[in-house]
Copies of this chain bind each other. A is one copy, B any other.
């Protein structure tokens, strides 16, 4: 069994890339204020925690952070992007990709670190709001899928592909569907039942997805 290997998936804000005026020193003019940027992100998380995403406004963020509205509009295309950026900056969205040698262990590890995130109420509330906004605002939806959802899919995809090579998965179920089942169940609990995502769910999902192949293998 190999030593656990972690390849964290970094969620880098699209709006804080190296080509930004903030870090690009070559141009004339005042540089982007890192202080304002952090104040905006902090104010955003505060406001969502206090009153929910439904009452979050750009004006409110500007007022709370002591910043002009234009400074927000200059750097983010919508308040949902600010929130996604705040989440990526403040919360720890690193997701380790374990490599324990068995699908059972890898999935349990992946789900475990995911649960830790979901158990933080503020993170869970924010994720709900972002998924909601992604439905209502198509442009943000595209960015949310590409910058967040797909990165998580790729992380789990790595695990699933390893299991597929080890023949640990039922042949009738495509890798894509395995991923959909895992994330689908997680998101459904987050969005629909709003019940805490406990450790036992990990066991059940493992039993459903991993034990299948194991049992038929044992028959042979």
Kindly state the separation between the CA atoms of A193 and B181 in the bound complex, as whole angstroms: 12
Question: Among residues 15 to 60 in chain A, which have CB atoms less than 8 Å away from a CB atom of chain B?
Answer: 52-54
| A135, A149, A170, A208 — most chain B CB neighbours (10 Å) | A135
Asked whether A3 is an interface residue with its Cβ less than 8 Å from the other chain, the reply is no
- A96 CB to closest chain B CB, in angstroms? 22
Give 18 A-B pairs besides A52-B138, A131-B192, A184-B184 with Cβ atoms closer than 8 angstroms. A53-B135, A54-B138, A129-B136, A132-B134, A145-B194, A177-B205, A180-B185, A181-B185, A181-B205, A183-B188, A184-B185, A184-B192, A185-B185, A187-B187, A188-B188, A208-B208, A215-B215, A219-B219
Instruction: List 20 contacting pairs A-B, 8 Å CB cutoff, sorted by A.
Output: A131-B191, A131-B192, A132-B133, A135-B191, A145-B193, A170-B208, A170-B211, A172-B211, A173-B204, A180-B185, A180-B188, A180-B189, A180-B193, A184-B187, A184-B192, A187-B192, A208-B208, A208-B209, A212-B215, A215-B215
